[in-house]
Structure formats: structure tokens, C-alpha cells
Amino acid sequence: MAMALEGVRVLDASGPIGHYAGRMLADLGADVIKVEPPDGDPARRWAPLLPDVAEPESGLQFLLLNANKRGVTLDVTQPRGRELYLELVKSADIVIDSLQLAEATELRLTSDDLTAVKPDLIHCSITGFGLTGPYANWAYSDIVGCAMSGTMQLAGVQEGPPEQLPDMQGFHSASIQATAGIMGALIYHQATGEGQVVEVSMQEAMSISQETAMMQADILGTNRERGVPMRGLDIPGLGLHEAADGHVVLVASGLAGSGFPGLVGLMAETGDAQDLTEEPYTTFIAEKMNTNFLMVALADPEQAAEVQDVMSHLDQVVRDFCRKQPKLYLYEEGQKRRVLVGMVSTPQDILNSPQLEGRNWFTDLEDSGRGVTLRYPGPQWQLAATPSTLRRPAPLLGEHNNEVLAEIGIDQTTLSALASEGVTA
């Protein structure tokens, strides 16, 4: 089947902040060449590590985010290395890098330098703070992006510190934004033949993930705090509940789905509704157990006092019920009855997900270079006519040096000399 980006060549010289971007373009069919320094990208050595496989081939985050790419090693700080890099740039449609302004200037690998050899290049720069402004050269790691974008301020419990988002969301947000920008630039190139610069700042890339916090600060001048639900409502059937083997989240008091009556129906089937199928609870549930009513009622101390006892009882019955059942039961049986329930999945739950299995989402791929077969997560979308595919594992360090350099006309003798001079090894 056709691939959407068939024939598009990408040079991915980025550090860990940009790995995911190159991976997505590769999944869509682009020929992506990972360019690393001779001692390898730092993420090659980042734990968690693949057991029984030696450094620098065991970093699992590297393996995940660099699958589908070929790999070359090149020391661009040496004149000959830089020259070869520019030769590769000439052969590419898109270059992704994560050089900060000062580094790019020092190495003479700015956008201007790149477009001097390839005028219609799409050059994507992904860094912590962008290529302009007072922080352009600031040091960053993933957690710094979480912090300075405002998203970390919202995560965590009140009595604890603000918390990072899991699994490098600063880096991933930057890569996700970059990929969309690159696709836009590619569409423009297709129409006009012109390249351009796509520039991403991790701080900016994550900002919209502040949810309503930015708008609240702008409109009302107040700030959201961590550990406080957005609407500040503490009512039955809403929020985190303990299940027999973990947790579920219920959103059974809104107007969506079958609401609280649906939840009572589910509880009644196993005889766990207690007295909620009797008066005065049936009327209360039918008329008052929705966020629209309760938001108004709870704002008025007199009304709030009136409903508080009933609500405490409902809450108790729901919590008793949830504690008796496994989370998958609550999730599947609730959702079948249009009660909005979500189970708090662990990584193992996701690996066992009936839905992901039903859609054949995971793929096993042999990695002969490392002597293993790994299970990979599937794509972000399924384009029916041009599906994403998983074709090869992440490159071993320098695996495709000869292959890729031969493609730009470097002969065997020169290749050996480059290696012994430390340009490629």
C-alpha cells in the first residue's frame, strides 16, 4: 500500500527533544536518517534499559523513538564532518535539529548555512525556548519545559510539590508541534517549491496544556492551584473511586450519558444499590443529581445543608459498590450502560486492553542487530489509504554509515579513511 510520505527524505539530527518528530514522519513513510555524534545520542544510554543488551544499544526510550530510521554517525565539529553533513542536507527535503542559537552559530549550521546549500530546505529547529529571545541559549531538560510552560503548576497534590508530567511530555509536546509544523511546510513546498523554517520552543509547545489556567489568569487575574478539581465540586458519582483492584474515575453526575440513574441501575444488578431505589432517594436522584442543579444548590449554604445528608449517603453507597468490583468490570459494564466510567490503567492494563487488542494495535518486530523481538505501540492514527507502518528497529550506532554515505557518492576508500580519522567513528 502507498505511504503518505513516500520519497520524502528527512535528516534527523535532533537530540532527545526531537526524536519523536522524526519517528512520526518515518511511520508515515519518509526516509528518515538519524544523525548522531560518533559516541551516540545521549538517550542511547538512558534507563530504562533493555536487559542483556550492551551499551549503547539498550536505551529503551531511544529504541522506541528511533524505530523506522536509518542511522549515521558524524562529528560535525570537525570540518570534514560538517562538509559531509552539508552534503547530506543537500540530499534531504527536511532537516530536524535541536541546536541552540549559540551552538548553531559556532558550528556554522544555522538555517542560513543550511539553506545556502539547499535553498528549498524545510529546516525544523526544536529547542527548549526557541532560537530568539533572552532564553534562547538557556539549558533545558524535559522537566524545565513542564515547569516554565505553566503545566507543572497544575499537577500534584496540595501538600506535595508540583509534579512533572510523565514520560517526557515536554519533549513530546515539542516534537508533536514540530511534526504538525513540518507537515504544513511540506504542503506549502508541494504547492510552491519553497522551503522555510519551522521553529519550536518547548515552553510554547506545552503552554496550551495549561487547560483553562491561562484564560482564567487573563480574564479573572486568578491562578488555578494543583490538587483542586477544575469546578471544585465534591459530589457523589464524580471523581476518583477505589475499586477492588485499583481505581476508577466516575463522571456520573453530569448530563452526558445515562448519569446517576444509570449508575444506580448498574449497582442494582448486583444487589448493591442498597436503598437508593427507594424514596426519598429515587426522586432526589431523578431531579437533583446533576451538576447543573448541584452547582447552584451547593453555592447557597441553606440549600447545601439540606442536600448534604442525602449526598453523603449516595456517596457512601457508590463507594461501597466500587470497592467490591474490579476496575475492568466497572469500566466495561458501566460504559455498556452509558455510565461515564474510566478505569485507571497501569501500563500492564494497557498492554492487556481488550480494545487495543481488538484493533491489533501493538506490533512485534524482530531486531536482529540486538538479538531480540520487541513489542511496539501502534500509530497515532490510521490513514485508510496510506497507513503508518513499522518497518525496521532503531539503528545500531553507525549502522548505516556506509550505506547512506555511499548514496551521496562517498567511495569505500574514503569511508575507511573517515572512520579512522574519527569523523564517523
Partner 1 sequence: MTTNGSGANGSNPRLLEGLKFLDLTWYGAGPIATRTIAGMGAEVVRVETEKRPDGLRVAPPRPVDSAGYNVSGYYNNFNTDKKSVTIDLTTERGHELGIELVQWADMMMTNFTPRAIRQIGMDWETVSKANPGIIAMYQPMQGMSGPHTEYGGFGAILGTVCGINGLAGSEGNPPVGVGTNYTDYVVNPIHAVTGLLAALYHKRRTGEGQMIDMSQLESSVAALAGPLFAQVNGAGTYVREGNHVKYAAPHGAYQVADGETSEGESRPDRWLAIGCTTDEHWRSLAAAAGHPEWADDPRFATLADRKANEDALDALVAGWARDRDGDSLQASLQAAGVPAGLVLNATEVLADEQMVDREYFRYLEHPEAGLRAQDGSGFKLSKTPAEPMRHSPLLGEHTYEIATEILGLTPEEIGDLVAEQVLF
- Region binding partner 1 by CB under 8 A among candidate stretches 267-275, 276-284, 350-358, 413-421: 350-358
Residue among 348, 330, 166 at smallest CA distance from 241 = 330
Residue 80 CA to residue 421 CA, distance in Å, equals: 10
Q: Which three cell numbers stand for residue 136?
A: 534562547
Closest contact distance (angstroms) between CB of 377 and partner 1 is 4
Is the Cα dihedral 67, 68, 70, 73 positive or negative?
Answer: negative
Closest contact distance (angstroms) between CB of 170 and partner 1 is 9
Residue 159 CA to residue 164 CA, distance in Å, equals: 15
Query: Smaller CB distance to partner 1: residue 38 or 42?
Result: 42
DSSP strands (E only) in 217-310 = 238-243, 246-251
Query: Which residue among 89, 213, 235, 298 contacts partner 1 (CB under 8 A)?
Result: 213
CB crowding 23-37: b at 16 or more within 10 Å, else e: bbbbbbbbbbbbbbb
Query: Which residue among 38, 56, 261, 342 contacts partner 1 (CB under 8 A)?
Result: 342
Is the Cα dihedral 2, 4, 9, 12 positive or negative?
Answer: negative
Positions 4 through 63 that interact with partner 1 (CB under 8 A): 4-5, 20, 24, 28, 42-43, 45-51, 60-61, 63
- Site membership for partner 1, residue 139 (CB under 8 A): yes
x/- letters, 360..379, toward partner 1 (CB under 8 A): -x----------x-xxxxxx
Positions 223 through 242 that interact with partner 1 (CB under 8 A): 223-224, 226-227, 230-231, 240
Chain-centroid distance of CA 99 in Å reads: 22
Residue 117 CA to residue 121 CA, distance in Å, equals: 9
Yes or no: say if 330 and 341 are a contact pair by the CB < 8 Å rule.
yes
Positions 289 through 308 that interact with partner 1 (CB under 8 A): none
- Using CA atoms, how far residue 307 sits from 115, 313, 335, 420, in Å, is 68, 10, 28, 80
Query: Smaller CB distance to partner 1: residue 143 or 268?
Result: 143
For residue 178, what are the contacts with CB-CB under 8 A and spacing of at least 6?
A: 18, 21, 96, 124, 126, 198, 200, 205
Query: Smaller CB distance to partner 1: residue 223 or 420?
Result: 223
Closest contact distance (angstroms) between CB of 257 and partner 1 is 6
Number of residues that bind partner 1 (CB under 8 A): 149
168 φψ region: left (φ > 0), alpha (ψ -120 to 50), beta (else): left
Query: Which residue among 319, 324, 359, 391 contacts partner 1 (CB under 8 A)?
Result: 359
Query: Which residue among 331, 393, 394, 400 contacts partner 1 (CB under 8 A)?
Result: 331
x/- letters, 87..116, toward partner 1 (CB under 8 A): ------------------------x-----
Closest contact distance (angstroms) between CB of 299 and partner 1 is 13
x/- letters, 152..171, toward partner 1 (CB under 8 A): xxxxxx--xxxxxxxxxx--
Positions 171 through 190 that interact with partner 1 (CB under 8 A): 172-173, 176-181, 183-188, 190
